[in-house]
């Protein structure tokens, strides 16, 4: 999961641990998300479930989820509620995966409760919508201050995402309507 950490132009987190311990926080958020997703899948009768985690962040996704034959390659992003984060970098390789999508987790900085969620993806069985042409640049410049382009990453603004209010909405976006 790619955490969105505050830069000089972003709001400061209410807890400095969100930057200092961001790797731990990312894993906690991922586990909370998985627990909530699996709970909703169970409740809706979707029990043919597989969860795979990417060992290396090369394919553009963090998780592969399959529920009753629908496969999703998911790139996770996160930012706390109140952060002024306006855009995220998306790996172009995600667009090559069937069912690729991006799930931007927003969370309460005190309780780590999830929601609302931001969604960028097609319906089950569809490819990832076009990512656009805006190439990401490295966050740090070279000795002259020049920031090199990152040709495999595209910048998506928050406005390109659909707001999902609940974990049930996330499950529906990922896997469609329940058949039970």
What is the pLDDT at residue 144? 87
Q: Is residue 168 part of a domain?
A: yes
| Distance, CA of 16 to CA of 24 (rounded, Å) | 13
Q: Is residue 63 part of a domain?
A: yes
Q: Is 3 within 8 Å of 10 (Cβ atoms)?
A: no
| Distance, CA of 176 to CA of 141 (rounded, Å) | 43
Bigger pLDDT: 139 or 106?
Answer: 106
| Distance, CA of 154 to CA of 140 (rounded, Å) | 17
| Distance, CA of 100 to CA of 76 (rounded, Å) | 11
Residue 4's pLDDT band (cuts 50, 70, 90): low
Q: Is residue 180 part of a domain?
A: no
Please, how many CA atoms are within 13 Å of residue 20, restricted to the half-sphere of its CB?
4
pTM over 0.75? The answer is yes
Pairing of the two strands 63-67 and 87-91: unpaired
- Domain of 159 in residue numbering reads as 2-175
Q: How many structural domains are present in the chain?
A: 1
């Amino acid at each position: 999961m790619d955490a969105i950490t505050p830069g000089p132009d972003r709001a400061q987190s209410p807890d400095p641990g969100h930057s200092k311990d961001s790797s731990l926080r990312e894993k906690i958020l991922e586990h909370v998300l998985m627990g909530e997703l699996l709970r909703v899948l169970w409740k809706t009768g979707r029990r043919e479930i597989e969860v795979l985690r990417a060992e290396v962040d090369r394919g553009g996704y963090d998780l592969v989820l399959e529920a009753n034959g629908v496969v999703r390659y998911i790139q996770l992003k996160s930012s706390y509620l109140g952060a002024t984060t306006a855009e995220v970098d998306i790996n172009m390789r995600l667009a090559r995966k069937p069912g690729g999508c991006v799930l931007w987790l927003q969370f309460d900085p005190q309780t780590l409760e999830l929601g609302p969620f931001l969604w960028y993806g097609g319906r089950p069985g569809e490819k990832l919508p076009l990512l656009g042409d805006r190439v990401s640049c490295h966050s740090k410049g070279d000795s002259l201050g020049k920031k090199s382009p990152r040709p495999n990453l595209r910048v998506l603004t928050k406005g390109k995402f659909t707001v999902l209010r609940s974990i049930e909405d996330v499950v529906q976006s990922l896997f469609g309507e329940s058949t039970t």
